[in-house]
Amino acid sequence: MSATTMRAVRLTEWQSDPVVAEVPRPEPRGSEVLVEVGAAGLCRSDIHIMSAPPGAYPYTLPFTLGHETAGRVAALGPGASGVEVGDAVVVYSRWGCGACWQCANGRDNACARTQYGPHGGGLGRDGGLAEYLLVPSAHYLVPAPGLDPVPAAPLTDAALTSYHAAKLSLAQLRPGSTALVLGVGGLGHMAVQVLKAISSARIVAVDVRDAALELARSAGADAVLRADGLTPDDVRAEVGSDGANVVLDFVGNNATLALAAGSVAQGGDLTFVGRGGGELRVAPGLIPYESTVRMPTWGTVPELAEVVALARSGAIHSEAEVYGMDDVLSAYGKLRHGDVLGRAVVVPGRD
Ligand SMILES: [Zn+2]
Ligand SMILES: [Zn+2]
């Protein structure tokens, strides 16, 4: 490899596996910052993207996948400031327009202008599954001194998205309340830890896999339930007949959403996070009165800073399986089949 090129995991065709390719190493211009990637997490949404037919996503191919990145600042554009070469950082990959009302309020994740186009690194723009990642601005970097990039990378989506979702229900998470976590994968195992860290709610976790239920227990779940054949009555037998005050569905298929709707308490929060292709119908008789249905996406840059603070304090830690870039396809294969415990993370320098 020459000094001006780098290896990257590129999506070149829809409904195809990505390929590891040699591409030009980007040079930061203007306010851009070049990050040397220490680790990049694999997300189930990468699989949704690569499996999608043309037109399903508003992205132009090719681009580099990867929207969970930790590393070090390698170079700054002439107009960049706020970080220095060598700084350990994690990257917020949901890049907003920076100018709409939502972005002005720090809500890049709800940016009004990038909703229907490329909206971040690994999401239509070149992402972190590469040796280097070009970030539009230091605004999207959160200092992460002292954090190992492998467990740090999943902080930027798996932990951030879980944290944002849980924080939206903070008022419900009072002592004596119950939070039900559906799906203990990359996000769910972080959600259990986040709920433990920011609330005193009782946490009940549900998954089809025994290993995931064990992971939930070690992450702090007070009780676990096996998903196969699980009914809302079974859930209520565990959480109490009133139901769960907060249900966080990290799977989002029709079965989990039906379980969520049948398990949430009257006046509770049902939060639809997983993109499992399911639909939730909202009508009297289908979900309880006074309940709130939310469909959050990502979190904000300030929330990522809060997540990093939780990780630095030791309150949350991502379980990670480490792969080299050449093993990325087998790692995606394991993720597709539900065989990854916690998060699969690629370390570009590991090959
Ligand atoms: Zn993701
Ligand atoms: Zn915006």
Nearest ligand to the CA of 97 is 2
Distance 109 CA to ligand 2 centre (A): 8
Distance 114 CA to ligand 2 centre (A): 6
Nearest ligand to the CA of 156 is 1
The reported pLDDT for the residue numbered 215 is 95
Nearest ligand to the CA of 111 is 2
Query: What residues does 21 pair with on adjacent strands?
Result: 8
Distance 104 CA to ligand 1 centre (A): 23
Q: Which residues line ion ligand 2, judged by CB < 5 Å?
A: 96-97, 100, 103, 111, 113
Question: Do the beta carbons of residue 268 and residue 247 sit within 8 Å?
Answer: yes
142: which 2 tokens? 């959160």
Nearest ligand to the CA of 128 is 1
The reported pLDDT for the residue numbered 349 is 82
Distance 343 CA to ligand 2 centre (A): 29
The reported pLDDT for the residue numbered 1 is 47
Nearest ligand to the CA of 299 is 1
The reported pLDDT for the residue numbered 65 is 98
The reported pLDDT for the residue numbered 211 is 95
pTM strictly above 0.75: yes
> pLDDT tens, position by position, for the chain (351 residues)?
457 999 999 999 999 999 999 999 999 999 999 999 999 999 999 999 999 999 999 999 999 999 999 999 999 999 999 999 999 999 999 999 999 999 999 999 999 998 888 999 999 999 999 999 999 999 999 999 999 999 999 999 999 999 999 999 999 999 999 999 999 999 999 999 999 999 999 999 999 999 999 999 999 999 999 999 999 999 999 999 999 999 999 999 999 999 999 999 999 999 999 999 999 999 999 999 999 999 999 999 999 999 999 999 999 999 999 999 999 999 999 999 989 988 999 999 876
Nearest ligand to the CA of 117 is 2
